[in-house]
Amino acid sequence: MRPVLALSDVTFRRQGKEILHGVSFTVRSGEHWALLGPNGAGKSTILGFCGAVTHPTTGTVHVLGERLGRVELQALRRAIGHVNPRHPLRSPLTVREVVLTGITGSVDLPPRWRPTPDDLVKADALIRGLGLTRMAEERWPTLSQGERGRALVARALSCDPRLLLLDEPATGLDVAAREQLIETLDLLGETHPAVASILVTHHLEELPATTTHAMLVAHGRVVAAGPAAEVVTTEHVSAAFEHPIQVGRHDGRWVARAGRQAAVAAR
């Protein structure tokens, strides 16, 4: 099976400074990856390659079977769903309209664009599936951060993506809203079984139980990559964050304790 995404020995330089060093990993259909590491580790830069936004300085990046540098990027990006909690929407669109902008690939609705009946059916099905039916006509400024998060997941799925990128999707959420979002992501394996996903976060508690693979990065280098159970361990997480962190798992979800808390939890 052709990979959905493949980075091979990728380096990246900005203003003469190399900030990524020989990054390689491969994502296949139906896999759900976590991209973990401290601030400044290079996670956002790696996600830029995945979203066909950034080109490597050296090495190769294949996205959806196409090599960056040899493909028209706008067409490629339309097959990638992107969930960004800092979504730059300024218009008071309704939830339904926000979801429809995923079909047009725009932040706002294009002035002369009108959704087809099939577009509306798809949008309403996603809204229903993410538990947003009662607020389909609510406007963006009135939504809570949790409601916005679920609306953005529906928006990202509306273009029938093969690859879904989630850039710290739990940013700004309280505990209840975070758990609702994670429950939504856990359902993707059932509702969209062929979609591959990459979730960027600093926090192990934000990983869905359905996470299949993980990559830990630090200082622009890969610390570990592969099946999540083999990568998200006390040894690897402590190495990536350069601090003793005890990693555990309960009911499929990861937890972390650092420093003195780790020592107490281990007793």
Give the pLDDT of residue 263: 43
Give the pLDDT of residue 266: 39
Clarify whether residues 58 and 30 are in a common domain: yes
| Cα first-last separation, the chain | 46
17-27 vs 5-14, strand pairing mode: antiparallel
Give the pLDDT of residue 260: 58
d(C-alpha 240, C-alpha 204), whole Å: 13
pLDDT at 235 > cutoff 70 = yes
130 occurs within a structural domain: yes
Nearest to 157 by CA among 131, 181, 183, 127: 127
Clarify whether residues 5 and 127 are in a common domain: no
Clarify whether residues 99 and 117 are in a common domain: yes
241 occurs within a structural domain: no
Final residue of a structural domain among 160, 178, 206:
160
Final residue of a structural domain among 114, 134, 160:
160
d(C-alpha 5, C-alpha 33), whole Å: 11
108 occurs within a structural domain: yes
Clarify whether residues 219 and 199 are in a common domain: yes
CATH number, domain at 180?
3.40.50.300
pTM: 0.89
Beta strands per DSSP E along the chain: 5-14, 17-27, 32-36, 58-63, 66-67, 80-83, 163-167, 196-201, 213-218, 221-227, 245-250, 253-258
Contact (CB, 8 A) for 44 and 220? no
Clarify whether residues 127 and 59 are in a common domain: no
Clarify whether residues 75 and 166 are in a common domain: yes
Contact (CB, 8 A) for 52 and 73? yes
pLDDT band, residue 189 (cuts 50/70/90): confident
201 occurs within a structural domain: yes
Number of domain units in the chain: 2
Nearest to 26 by CA among 44, 42, 49, 45: 49
Clarify whether residues 100 and 32 are in a common domain: no
Q: Which domain holds residue 194?
A: 1-79+162-231
The per-residue DSSP string of 29-83 comes to TT-EEEEE--TTSSHHHHHHHHTT----SEEEEEETTEETTSS-HHHHHTTEEEE
Clarify whether residues 16 and 73 are in a common domain: yes
Over residues 25-68, the pLDDT tens digits come to 999 999 999 999 998 899 989 999 999 888 899 999 999 989 98
